A = this chain, B = another copy of it.
């Protein structure tokens, strides 16, 4: 049988359904005792308000959509955890869409969210293709990008990011300061804005340390842990192999670390490694990974807050939010190994 509705309660209480509606929303327009009676009855009958019907007339679903590449990525999982928590605190539900970076799935996700009439969308997908962007824009709800800066940025699309350039700078400067002269960068494909910014920080730090920027030391990879391992042979095959590597993210760095150990390299003596993200397990690999910590909790919270603020005030101008990353020095960068 279908769930009990406001009408069922009305019938049971011998009042009209509008009175029940008022009583359940604790309106002062209902006599105290009828209100109490109705509320008790509703409870007894196991009433659960239908959010769909309510949203239809209220014009809001109290739901946000979250689009990610993969929830199995530990950094993304951390951010989503924070998003879900913040959303819950504000009385919002979260619809999760994982795209696996497949463009057609990203588009399908956006269309589904649009149909479900979510009040806002948070995208932690890094790469915003032109096609995808177009679909996003026709969505008439606030969109907040995490660690992604859309070039065609519209009135309605904002971003909260870590300061990727600064993070890349911190990581690279740290390695330079330890005395490394040849520092590689393991990159993502260049259509990621976050990758480009990290790489820019890398370049600036090299320059700042009086080191040349050598394109041959920049290798692209997929950002997953296996690809970090695959990158090692390429680096070692260079005429002058690097003594240190800054990786786009921790997963890559961990893959690289692992491959290096398997190849018999001494870490960090033979190769110093710095990652980006500070995923929960970063300090548990060996050697423990030096990395640039992203404030994932803060990023998730801010993304939710911004989404809801945007919903409230469609007209106001907002600024993108950029949070500082923090260099966490652990053993993979060779504390004391080059004194």
Q: Which of A9-17, A24-32, A95-103, A168-176 contacts B (4 or more CB under 8 A)?
A: A95-103
From B1, B48, B94, B117, A115 is in contact (CB under 8 Å) with B48
- Give Cα A70–Cα B84 distance, bound, in whole angstroms: 10
- Give Cα A116–Cα B53 distance, bound, in whole angstroms: 9
Q: Is A114 an interface residue (CB 8 A)?
A: yes
Mark A residues whose CB is within 8 Å of B. 1-3, 46, 48-53, 55-56, 59, 61, 63, 66, 70-72, 74, 77-78, 80-81, 84-85, 88, 93-98, 100, 105, 108, 111-112, 114-117, 138, 140, 225, 254-255, 257-258, 261, 280-281, 283-286
From B88, B280, B285, A72 is in contact (CB under 8 Å) with B280
**A75 → chain B closest CB, angstroms:** 10
- Give Cα A261–Cα B286 distance, bound, in whole angstroms: 10
Q: In the complex, are the beta carbons of A114 and B48 less than 8 A apart?
A: yes
Integer count of this chain's copies in the complex: 2
- Whether A84 contacts B71 in the complex (CB less than 8 A), given A116-B51, A117-B50, A285-B281, comes out as yes
Q: In the complex, are the beta carbons of A56 and B48 less than 8 A apart?
A: no
Task: Known A-B contacts: A50-B115, A88-B97, A254-B284. Give 5 more (CB < 8 A).
Answer: A52-B116, A63-B95, A70-B81, A71-B80, A281-B281
Residues of B contacting A51 with CB < 8 Å? 112, 115-117
In chain B, what residue has the closest Cβ to A116?
B51
**A100 → chain B closest CB, angstroms:** 8
- Give Cα A66–Cα B258 distance, bound, in whole angstroms: 34
Q: In the complex, are the beta carbons of B138 and A46 less than 8 A apart?
A: yes
The 7 sampled A-B contact pairs (Cβ below 8 Å) are A48-B111, A49-B115, A52-B117, A72-B74, A77-B77, A93-B95, A96-B96
Residues of B contacting A100 with CB < 8 Å? 85
Q: In the complex, are the beta carbons of A225 and B284 less than 8 A apart?
A: yes
